[in-house]
Amino acid sequence: MTENKVVDLLAVFSDLEPAADAIEQLRNLGVHDECMNVISGIPVTEAMLGRPHQWTNVPRIALGGAVLGFLGGGFLAFVSPYLYPYPIQVGSQYPVPGPPTVVLLFEITMLGMLLSTFLGVFLDSFFPNYRPMKYVPEISDGKIAILVECPHVEEKKITAVLKKLGAESIQPAEAQHL
C-alpha cells in the first residue's frame, strides 16, 4: 500500500500578477483553495488573487458587542436614576432626560462595538501564536509567497508550473519560530 506524500512547497513571487496566475494554474492542476495559503507583507484581498471570500466571525462579535453596549447604556440611562434612595429632581425635568440619554446610548453602544471588534480581530487572527510558522524572510521585503500543502498532487508538476510562471524561488516549506 502506498501512502501519498504531502507536497509542502513555498514559492516566492516578486509581484501580485504572477502570484494570481500561479494560483489559477494550481487550481487547474487540481490543488484546492484549502491547500493554498498566500503569505504577504502587504494587505492583499481575496478578489485581487481570484480566491473565494474568507468568512470571519468578527461582524457577529461586533454586533453582539453593540447589543451589549446598548443594553449597558440603557441600564445607565433608564435604571440607574431610580436606584438612588431619593430621586434627584432638577427643575421640572424628567428623571431620564431625552437628549443626554440619546448621547449616552450612542456612546456606550459604540464603545461596546469597538471593544468587541478589537477582541474579535485579536481572537480571529489567532494572536499571539507561539507555534512555528512557515515563512521566508523575502516576504518582509514586499514579495508574495504561496504555500502549497496538498497530499494528492505531484510535486514535480507543481514545481514546473510555478517556475514557468515566474517564481523566484521554490523551496520546501519549513516551520520556524518567528
In tens, the pLDDT along 91-149 reads: 888 878 889 999 999 999 999 999 999 999 988 887 777 777 777 778 878 888 888 88
**Domain 7-52+130-176, CATH among 3.40.50, 1.10.3470, 3.30.70, 1.20.120:** 3.30.70
Instruction: pLDDT band for 4, please (50, 70, 90 cuts).
Output: low
Average pLDDT over residues 24-31: 86
pLDDT of residue 176: 67
Cis upstream peptide for 128 (omega within 30°): yes
pLDDT of residue 155: 80
Q: What percent of the chain has pLDDT over 90?
A: 24
Domain range annotation of the chain: 7-52+130-176, 58-124
Q: Could you tell me the three cell numbers for 150?
A: 496538498
* Residues whose CB is less than 8 angstroms from the CB of residue 108 and which lie 6 or more positions away in sequence, other chains included: 69, 70, 72, 73, 76
Q: Which of 125, 147, 175, 163 is nearest to 9 (CA)?
A: 147
Instruction: pLDDT band for 72, please (50, 70, 90 cuts).
Output: very high
pLDDT of residue 119: 94
Q: Is the dihedral of CA 77, 118, 124, 51 positive or negative?
A: positive
What is the spatial distance between Cα 68 and Cα 79, in angstroms, rounded to a whole number?
Answer: 15
3-state SS assignment for residue 45:
coil
What is the spatial distance between Cα 88 and Cα 72, in angstroms, rounded to a whole number?
Answer: 21
What is the spatial distance between Cα 82 and Cα 43, in angstroms, rounded to a whole number?
Answer: 50
Average pLDDT over residues 50-59: 83
